[in-house]
Amino acid sequence: MPTFAEIKKILSDCQQSHLLRFWDELNEKEQSQFLEQLGTINFKEASDIFTKAQNSLSEDVQKLDSRMKPIPPEQFESEKSVNEKILGEYKSTGLEAIANNEVAVLLLAGGQGTRLGVNYPKGMFSVGLPSGKPLFQIQAERIRRVMSLAKQQTGKTGKICWYIMTSGPTNFTTKDFLRKNDYFGLNKDDVKLFQQGLLPCYDFDGKIFLDEKHIVALAPDGNGGIYRSLHQNGILEDMKKRGIKYVHVHSVDNILIKVADPVFIGYCVKKEADCGAKVVSKAEPTEAVGVVCQVDGKFQVVEYSEITEATANLRDSDGNLLFNAGNICNHFFTTDFLNKVAANFERELKLHVAKKKIPHVNENGEKIKPSSPNGIKVEKFVFDVFQFAKKFVTWEVPRNSEFSALKNADSVGKDCSLTSRRDLFNLHKSYIEKAGGKVTCDGVEISPLLSYAGESLEVRVKDKVFDTTTVILSDEEILKNGNVICDGDCR
């Protein structure tokens, strides 16, 4: 821990001496805590970050229309247009990699459920399925199921390490929740939590705020903080020891996510890509979603606000939107690429700056909760590394089978638990009907432990009618819960 004199000089050199204005009012314990926190902050880097952030704020938002090009055909494939044989080859390649212990999942789970109306991590949220399963459980059970599919194909018992990036506010609660639920059947040694980094909160003049008299105001550095955190927390080294070659990275708030999707992984491996993005077709030209495209020859995600409506409406000769690859925070990386980004490119990542209402202690030591934006928070985004890839590819999937975001309270009526639950029920209905069953109600759920993507259902559903709320269980769950496969009546 640095001494007071050392910290005082550092802060003076960086024009942040105001952070010590209440030092003499602190007790010994508070002084010790404060010095410890101050010692973890690189104030020279923080100063550089603010300068870059200030420059980006002062720049006019430039439309990128003239610099944009769509994804080249050789770097884009769609699940809908690829024939069954090729699809099977991709899946087989992905399952082989899983069986060889070469695949990991990295879950972006730093967000709290504030917009959902709860004060706990999003992954603990339940959208109200008949099973009551929260997002963490659904995703853990999909990992278990895809490991089982890999064993069925190869005869080898492979394992997937589940890395979970939390944040300061979510780390302990997430860790405790997973422990109490026995990691939902995963080996606890294969579930690794680590925290994303933090950046100071600034006023508009670059002065760092105090959250309390002895605590600097910090905020998570965005999901783009993943690259530094992977290095600083020893995760890249852990991946190396485990022999992991490929990492599936996704956000926690997509209830339809195909975790460790063998088709997506296999596609990227077959194409020898070091970085890949799974995308969906935009629902409409004006949908407020970022699109994956090229800008000045480099791949990136362009936000809707960065292009004109005319460009958003451009269509190709077949009538499809020219810029149609909607980003859904679902990515593939090789571990070699992740190491390269952490070592060489992390500092080059674009800064995304937002004006915010930041609670703070004022010069009189009073805690202020402003009613209007009084400063800035700085974030980095996970997708801003696309430009550094030697071989970047995109894989388009149907929205109705792979993407349903959970961001808002039900009162909003969009991207909420109501829509997430509806979309899962609709997908499971399609699986059941393809397997020879019939669904006449809106509440049929298939356990992830039974089926990953509609397989293995005939024995459970063929020639049956599901007309009331139902959970179709795996053999393991039937043994555990009794010989029951549905809550209500099915015939």
CA 204, 205, 211, 214: dihedral to nearest 10 degrees?
170
Residues 6+ apart with CB under 8 A from 284: none
Q: Report DSSP state, residue 112.
A: B
Residues 6+ apart with CB under 8 A from 69: 293, 294, 295, 297
Per-residue model confidence (pLDDT) at position 55: 81
- Tokens representing residue 157 in the block: 């018992």
CATH number of 425-491: 2.10.10
- Tokens representing residue 121 in the block: 């991590």
Q: Provide the phi-psi class of 124: left if phi over 0, else alpha when psi is between -120 and 50, else beta.
A: alpha
Q: 307-335 in b/e burial notation, b at 16+ Cβ within 10 A?
A: beeebbebeeeeeebbbbbbbbbbbbbbb
Paired sense of beta strands 202-203 and 68-69, if any? unpaired
pLDDT tens-place string over residues 369-427: 999 999 999 999 999 999 999 999 999 999 999 999 999 999 999 999 999 999 999 99
- Tokens representing residue 481 in the block: 């819960």
Task: State the span(s) of the chain assigned CATH 2.10.10.
Answer: 425-491
Q: Which residues of the chain have pLDDT under 50?
A: 484-485, 487-491
In Å, what is the CA distance from 330 to each residue of 292, 387, 396? 12, 16, 11
**Residues pairing with 281 in the sheet:** 325
Listed in sequence order, the DSSP H helices in 79-207 are 84-99, 135-154, 171-180
Residues 6+ apart with CB under 8 A from 5: none
pLDDT tens-place string over residues 320-371: 999 999 999 999 999 999 999 999 999 889 888 888 999 999 999 999 999 9
CATH 1.20.1260.10 fits 65-407, yes or no: no
- Tokens representing residue 36 in the block: 């410890």
Residue 22 carries which side chain, given as an amino acid letter?
F
- Tokens representing residue 323 in the block: 């810029």
What is the C-alpha to C-alpha distance for residues 282 and 293, in angstroms, rounded to an integer? 13
Residues 6+ apart with CB under 8 A from 367: 212, 359, 360, 361
What is the C-alpha to C-alpha distance for residues 116 and 131, in angstroms, rounded to an integer? 20
In Å, what is the CA distance from 8 to each residue of 23, 36, 218? 11, 13, 19
DSSP code string of 448-490: TTT-SSSTT-HHHHTT-EE-S-EEE--HHHHHHH-S---SS-B
DSSP code string of 329-360: EEEEEEHHHHHHIIIIIGGGSPPEEEEE---E
Residues 6+ apart with CB under 8 A from 12: none
Per-residue model confidence (pLDDT) at position 488: 42
Per-residue model confidence (pLDDT) at position 61: 60
What is the C-alpha to C-alpha distance for residues 486 and 130, in angstroms, rounded to an integer? 10
| First vs last C-alpha separation in the chain | 68
Per-residue model confidence (pLDDT) at position 484: 47
Widest pairwise Cα distance in the chain: 78
- The number of C-alpha atoms within 13 Å of 126 and in the hemisphere containing its C-beta is 8
What is the C-alpha to C-alpha distance for residues 302 and 291, in angstroms, rounded to an integer? 5
Task: State the span(s) of the chain assigned CATH 3.90.550.10.
Answer: 65-407
